[in-house]
Chain A
Amino acid sequence: MDNLRIDNLSWRFILVWNRNMVVYRKIWFVNFLVPLLEPIMYLAAFGIGLSALIHKVSYQGTPVSYVLYIAPALVAITIMYNAFFENTYASFVRMYYQKTFDAMMTTPLSLEDIIAGEIFWGATKSVIAAAIVLGVITCFGLVSFPSGLLVLPVSFLGGLAFGTVGMIFTGLTPTIDMYNLPIFLFITPMFLFSGTFFPTSTLPGWAQKLALALPLTHVVNLCRAFFLGKTSLGLAWSVLYITAMFILLFPVALIVMRKRLIS
């Protein structure tokens, strides 16, 4: 366990977060554009296109319109994509091509501060993007308030979990092209089978259990409940699942990155 140095972790991770925020603000317009336009495209395609074929989907025994069904999933997917891509491609570029981490490690920042700062930043990007998507969907009248606002803390928690998974791949991937593999094996199946575009209850029994193991399923659960104003105590399990995932995998991310960068 030589590579797990939790004692190196300090408040200074916020300085790494700050560096990324400075860069983000320079091109904020481009950064805002994707979460602004993407949900409109999805709502147009699925809402107008597919709604003609699928009228109602059953959610907790009540039929809801298809557009209302998928709208919260769009936020959940945004949360996953933003943190995961930030802590894979973007972190890899900073680590490998720009040697930003190397320069930081000549200052009082530890490697652990840097990794924590990167993951924290990934989660922040999830929150910003989720807030924009939430705003857009609200304009279409598809969100119940005030419960809808609860997707913001969910986006932070989900961002931490997906970012941590991304960071583990960053610690392990030999080249930037190899990210195709975790995307194909992990991200795409979640995008499709986490109760995003159809209820998991339509899947065969074994696949339902498998879907329950996917973190996105839980983020979708939470977002949908908050969007539709159907909060219940059962949601605590989803919160617990995502939190546990982050807490258990965060040390793994620290270990693989230390193994990769310190020799």
Chain B
Amino acid sequence: MSTHIPQIIRASHLGKKFGSLQAVDDLSFELTPGECLGLLGPNGAGKTSTIRMTYGFSPITSGKLEIFGLDINTQWRRIRAKIGVCQQENNLDPDLTVLQNLEVFARYFSIPGKEARDRAIQLLKFISLENRKDDKVTNLSGGMVRRLVLARALINSPDLLILDEPTTGLDPQARHQLWERLELLQKNGLSILLTTHYMDEAARLCDRLIIMDQGKILVEGKPAEIIHTHVGDHVVEIADPDEEVREFVTAHGFLHDLLDRRIIIYGNEADKLFEVIGDRFCRESCIKRLATLEDVFLRLTGRGLKE
């Protein structure tokens, strides 16, 4: 049975080459209306390259990419009119005030002066910066800057919001401030495509995730499902494991990672045998915890340094 929902993003066999480097390799994915899709992956996985293609900044090398059913190669102007983008770098205009940053940006979308001001004021309220409207942006804190970048991306009332590492470098308070606003936008039906290095961010905000490495998709699915499928629900971590633990784990065929000075065993608490590990081997310097997205991420993309 085929349902016909108009997709926000439809990428098929998308490729991006920089010289001889294949940054994005045969990537196919979709983003349905109202969905938040997260792209996860280590540095150099091709996340930013993918995102840059979706707003027509970087030309695609191969494949097909449609946003709102429009071809990005030919209809990029119409597409950009309906999307909002937070790039990785904070590129607010330092020559302008907080309010002017929004007003001038609104002009780029051909929003007339009066309406531009109204929307700007409204968005400043949304990000709690209305009392800083005449400040120079260089006087804002990191979290305020990020919120203003978000407000700027919303100035054209977009149908799709693209966020490239929205909370990198922020303190926990600022991160939560931003998350709350993103959740509100999501609740109002805004479609979001985001990249992040933070697994908690991905798990909290995204309906669906794509974990990628070296330009290819490794896994795709709902956060909880991905965790369940790839590492189970629970984890026991034992520091400096002795011979006995290692033999037990291998003998019973547990999914595990043996690191230099640590063994990580994945399983399910309902599993009696898994419980035995906890009872028999878990002394001091042992952690029992829920499995997280980070476990999946590290298992799939490796623990070595990526750069």
Residue of B nearest to A19 (CB): B104
Interfacial chain A residues near B18, Cβ < 8 Å: 263
Among B57, B93, B104, the residue within 8 A (CB) of A106 is B57
9-residue interface stretch from B31-39, B81-89, B234-242, B258-266: B81-89
Q: Check if B107 sits within 8 Å of A18, measured CB to CB.
A: yes
Task: Report the interface size class on chain A.
Answer: 20 to 34
Can you name the residue of chain B whose Cβ is closest to the Cβ of A100?
Answer: B93
Give B94's nearest chain A residue, CB to CB: A98
Q: B91: CB under 8 A from chain A?
A: yes
A22 with B96, Cβ < 8 A, contacts A99-B89, A102-B87, A106-B87 known: yes
Least CB distance, B224 to chain A, in whole angstroms = 33
Q: Which of A107-115, A119-127, A243-251 contacts B (4 or more CB under 8 A)?
A: A107-115
Q: Which of A26, A100, A103, A262 lies in contact with B58, CB distance below 8 A?
A: A262
- What's the least CB distance linking B120 to chain A, in Å? 13
B85 — which chain A residues lie within 8 A by C-beta? Answer: 106
User: Is A176 engaged at the interface, CB distance under 8 Å to the other chain?
Assistant: no
Given the interface pairs A22-B96, A108-B81, the reply to whether A102 lies near B108 with Cβ below 8 Å is no
| CB of B77 closer than 8 Å to a CB of A | yes
Given A102-B87, A103-B91, A263-B18; A19-B77 close (CB under 8 Å): no
CA distance A19 to B153 in the complex (A): 17
A18 and B104 in contact (CB under 8 A), knowing A106-B55, A106-B57, A108-B80?
yes
Q: Is B105 an interface residue (CB 8 A)?
A: yes
Inter-subunit contact A262/B59 (CB<8 Å) = yes
Report B130 CB to chain A, min CB distance, Å.
20
Residues of chain B within 8 A (CB-CB) of A106 are 55, 57, 80, 83-85, 87, 153
- Let me know if B91 and A100 touch, CB within 8 A: yes
B100: CB under 8 A from chain A?
yes
A104 near B108: Cβ-Cβ < 8 Å: yes
Give Cα A15 to B108, complex, Å.
6
Please name all residues of chain A whose beta carbon is closer than 8 Å to the beta carbon of B105 when the two chains form the complex.
103, 107
Instruction: Name the residue on B nearest A16 (C-beta).
Output: B108
Please give, as numbers and ranges, the residues of chain B lying within 8 Å of A105 by CB-CB distance.
57
- Greatest chain A CB density within 10 A among B18, B59, B105 is at B105
**Cβ contact within 8 Å between B87 and A19:** no
Please tell me if B29 contacts chain A, counting CB pairs below 8 Å: no
In-complex Cβ contact of A108 among B57, B92, B109 (8 A): B109
Q: Which of chain B's residues has its CB closest to A261's CB?
A: B57
| A236 CB–B CB distance under 8 Å | no
Check if A23 is an interface residue, CB within 8 A of chain B.
Answer: yes
Instruction: Report A29 CB to chain B, min CB distance, Å.
Output: 16
> Chain A's nearest CB lies how many Å from the CB of B160?
12
* Residues of chain A contacted by B171 (CB below 8 angstroms): none
Are B91 and A22 closer than 8 Å at their CB atoms? no
Q: How far is the CA of A104 from the CA of B153 in the complex (A)?
A: 11
Is the beta-carbon distance between B93 and A107 smaller than 8 angstroms?
A: no
Contact A102 B89 (CB under 8 A): yes
Minimal beta-carbon separation of A115 from chain B (angstroms): 15
From residue A62, how far is it (CB to closest CB) to chain B in Å? Answer: 48
B110 close to A (CB within 8 Å): yes
Known: A105-B57, A106-B55, A108-B77. A23 touches B87 (CB 8 A): no
| Residue ID in chain A nearest B84 by CB atoms | A106
Residue of B nearest to A102 (CB): B91
Q: In the docked arrangement, what's the CA distance between A100 and B89, Å?
A: 11
Distance to closest chain B CB from A112 (angstroms) = 12
Q: B58, A263: Cβ atoms under 8 Å?
A: yes
Report the bound CA distance from A33 to B53 in whole Å: 45
Chain A residues lying within 8 Å of B243, measured Cβ to Cβ, are none
A109 partner, pick from B84, B89, B108, beta carbons under 8 A = B108
Mask for A1-30, Cβ within 8 A of B = 1, else 0?
A: 000000000001001001100110010000
A22, A105, A107 — most chain B CB neighbours (10 Å):
A107
Cα separation A227 to B220 with both chains bound (whole Å): 73
Contact between chains at B77 and A23 (CB < 8 Å): no
Known: A99-B89, A108-B78. 8 other contacts (CB 8 A): A22-B96, A22-B104, A23-B96, A100-B93, A106-B57, A109-B108, A262-B57, A262-B58
Task: Return the 5 tightest CB-CB contacts between A and B, nearest first.
Answer: A99-B91, A106-B85, A107-B108, A23-B95, A103-B91
* A residues apposed to B, CB below 8 Å: 12, 15, 18-19, 22-23, 26, 98-100, 102-110, 262-263
Q: List 26 A-B contacts (CB under 8 A).
A: A12-B108, A15-B110, A19-B93, A22-B100, A26-B95, A98-B95, A99-B89, A99-B91, A100-B93, A102-B87, A102-B89, A103-B92, A103-B105, A103-B152, A104-B108, A105-B57, A106-B83, A107-B80, A107-B81, A107-B105, A107-B108, A107-B109, A108-B80, A108-B81, A262-B57, A262-B59
